[in-house]
Amino acid sequence: MVVQNHTTEQSKRMVFVSFASSEYSRSATILNSAEATNYNFEYFEIRSNFVGSLWEIYRILQKSKSTSTVFIVCSPSHLLTIPLRVFSSHPIVLDAGWPLSDHIQSSNVAVKRRVEHLKNHFIDWVSFSISSLVFLETEEQIKFICSQAKRNTKKYALGYTGLNESAFENIFTQQPIELKGKLEKNYILFRGKLNEEAGIKLILDVIKLMPEYNFVISSPNIKDDLSFDNLVIIKRYISNSEIKYLYENSVLTIGQMGIAQRIQKTIPHKAFESAYFGIPYLTQMTPAILELYPSSKHAFFLNELSAEGIAAGITEAMLNKDLSEQITKNSSTHYRDNFSQEVTARSLFSKILKN
């Protein structure tokens, strides 16, 4: 078990528990904000399986007998709500972000997918039921969860995933070695894991259709056998300095182009990244993405989800520089005012500390 402490004079104490490290996704954004704003918290990373976690949770509870303690179970560790509820009467906040049952894209074995889907539905139902407050990543996600069953809507609160901006502050940019001698800047960027949400087949068709533009795909699980004259592939996890370089030297970011149901309810990391770095974003118009990019004044939206439709969106963005600059300005302002790390974290902490 790995422990991080940050103690202040504040009366209420937040105890975060997770199977993942403090640098994982939503946790990094929240914890860096908690430290910067002087909140009283501890973070426990539990490195054992569920059975082993029972003993670790018991040890944590022995240190947390104060009635002013509130436990926050971090995503994707929904299972930890169970031992916390069994052994403790403290308030439990589940920073779910999304239901575990959303994540079934990784397996190609039909039976395994069904079993995993049922298991995750059960974990969602139990963890949501026994938590006093559940954070979900978008308003659309909250609507979806509450529509699935007769749930107490007051239990669910909005907590955008946002971006761990502190990871990109005061660091130098570093050009990925894959780009050296090939491509310096003015490319179209697609970043992220290649799952059912990505729509990589469509994107590759677009790259074939548009030899006049250069593209960069940065994905740790992309196939090795892709080769196009106007494409550079980065097939590994990259550092924050390299991520910063990719954005600062790109001219357009391509969003998720798949047809998975989850796309309607989620805002991908790269959407927040693009708004933060000030890069125009080309995306499907979904209910969730409209929470971050509320109109065509903030992003480029597809008229049609096809290779030709994406190519048309790229052409509009690349040929209309004035429009791209205005969209970038609007999206950056909207992000800073409503989705910055400070804004989203303060909103989340204020809701947690009311428990």
Do 201 and 157 reside in the same domain of the chain? Answer: no
Three-state SS for 2? Answer: strand
Do 138 and 195 reside in the same domain of the chain? Answer: no
| CA gap 2, 16 in Å, rounded | 12
Do 78 and 201 reside in the same domain of the chain? Answer: no
263, HSE (Cβ side, Cα atoms, 13 Å): 18
Q: Which DSSP helix (H) or strand (E) runs through 92?
A: strand 92-97
| The pLDDT value given to residue 11 | 61
Do 144 and 251 reside in the same domain of the chain? Answer: no
**Sheet containing 92-97: order of strands:** 2-6, 41-45, 13-18, 69-74, 92-97, 133-136, 156-158
| The pLDDT value given to residue 106 | 43
Task: Provide φ and ψ at 164, rounded to 5°.
Answer: -80, 80
Do 10 and 60 reside in the same domain of the chain? Answer: yes
Do 272 and 153 reside in the same domain of the chain? Answer: no
Do 149 and 172 reside in the same domain of the chain? Answer: no
Do 158 and 250 reside in the same domain of the chain? Answer: no
Do 205 and 150 reside in the same domain of the chain? Answer: no
Would you give per-residue pLDDT tens digits along the chain (355 residues)?
A: 555 555 554 567 899 999 988 888 788 888 888 776 667 888 999 987 777 788 888 888 887 766 688 999 999 999 999 999 998 889 999 999 999 988 654 444 466 677 888 889 999 999 999 999 999 999 999 999 988 766 777 899 999 999 999 999 999 999 999 999 888 899 999 998 777 788 888 999 999 999 999 999 999 888 766 778 999 999 999 999 999 999 999 999 999 999 888 999 999 999 999 999 999 999 999 999 999 999 999 999 999 999 999 999 999 999 999 999 999 999 999 999 999 998 998 899 989 988 7
Strands (E), 137-243: 156-158, 187-191, 215-218, 231-234
Do 197 and 84 reside in the same domain of the chain? Answer: no
Task: Provide φ and ψ at 109, rounded to 5°.
Answer: -95, 120
Boundaries of domain holding 128: 2-162+341-352
Instruction: Give the CATH number, domain containing residue 305.
Output: 3.40.50.2000
Do 171 and 145 reside in the same domain of the chain? Answer: no
Three-state SS for 127? Answer: helix
Task: State pTM to two decimals.
Answer: 0.90
Amino acid identity of residue 246, one-letter, is L
| The pLDDT value given to residue 261 | 87
Tally of domains in the chain:
2
Do 244 and 346 reside in the same domain of the chain? Answer: no
